[in-house]
Chains A and B, each alone.
Chain A
Amino acid sequence: MNLQDHIKLYNEAVFDSDRDRALKVVHDAVAQGVSPEDVVFEMVLPTMNLMIKAVSEDFNANLAQHFLTARIADAVTAEMIPKFKKLPEMVGRVVIGTAWGDLHTLGKRIVIGCLKARMIDVIDLGVNVPAERFVDEAVAREAPVIGISALMIHTATGENGCRKVRQILQERKLEDSIKIIVGGAPFRFHPQIFKTVGADTWAADAVTAGKVIEDLLQEARR
């Protein structure tokens, strides 16, 4: 089997949300001489990008699919990176957490899985994160992007969530160097509210979030 065959099998397993099959494809590929670098950069990442394309073309992707795609990508990347010939260059760093008052972890967790597979360094601030902490951590860790997840309308639009993060960035004159991206159910029901809460951008799902954040980080490097 050549690399193209492995890619095809991996692709099918991921689109079927079959973690065990995907992992088996990866292990078979490595056993047959595919390099860990090729597994990540030729199999995992392109498959995620295909998923983004499919989602944007109204392929009926569901939560389970995003969840399992992220889990698979996260697991494969974690296993392959230590086997790389030299450590991969990271695209950049992000701090991410759920908004103040919000205890829901899943959205953030899935986004993190997708980011790691893109060689993005993620700092997970956990749940119920005060606005000050988002900014303090972003500054301390030199992360040009803050990600905020919120599952309910009052945590997405409330005064202690993204709005306050924006206010602090403004007060500390950090708006040019730190960008805010938001996500979570309310933003999907109302695709305009990311603007009213003062975010720079948003993403409707985790695989797309990976790409949007990667773009933000590329911009920050310029």
Chain B
Amino acid sequence: MGIKELLSQYGDQYIQALFTTWKLTAFSFAIAFVIGVAVTVMRISPVQPLRVFAEIYIQIFRNIPGASLLMLLVYALPYLDVLLSYFVCVLIAASLIPSAFCSEYLMAGINTIGTGQIEAARSLGLSFMQIIRRVVIPQALRSSVLPLTNLLVSTMLTTALASQVPMNPRDLTGLVAHINTHAVGGVTAFLISALLYCATAVVIGQVGNMIDRKVRILR
């Protein structure tokens, strides 16, 4: 099938798939970000059990392959009487893995802060949570804009896991799989999706650079 034919027959579905991918990406990233911040606070907290829990969490989700995690959610959870929709399963898998990386990037950002500023905050009488909120997290975020931008892109690519389950509506990768089982889209069907992923990534990258220039901390 040529590109014209593909587009006239599947154009609407591509657009729908693009929106599905965007939606999965946005939700996953938002969840990953919230969990990433929370886990990071645990990792630097003075409470040892929290630190241990957070380290184990990071080790698991930094190292588990996305497809395995998704299969686990789809096939193992029903044995525990937990039935989730495919969409939710994909969302969880595509959130937990990036959340571990999110925490790693935030930790790198925290390591640039320097103990002196923390001690200054302590000697002003700020509590642990006040120091986290006012000094640590703002600086960690502002110095990890670029890694977090990359993480957003890689979260988008992780959402291609959706193609592994029969999801409706389909995401960009799922649509390629679908087209190729019903017609001969071949490489062209794949290229269209790839182009849409790339275009999105470029926009994310540009916006990320812009934000970084604005909030980067002078040292």
**Real complex partners, A and B?**
no
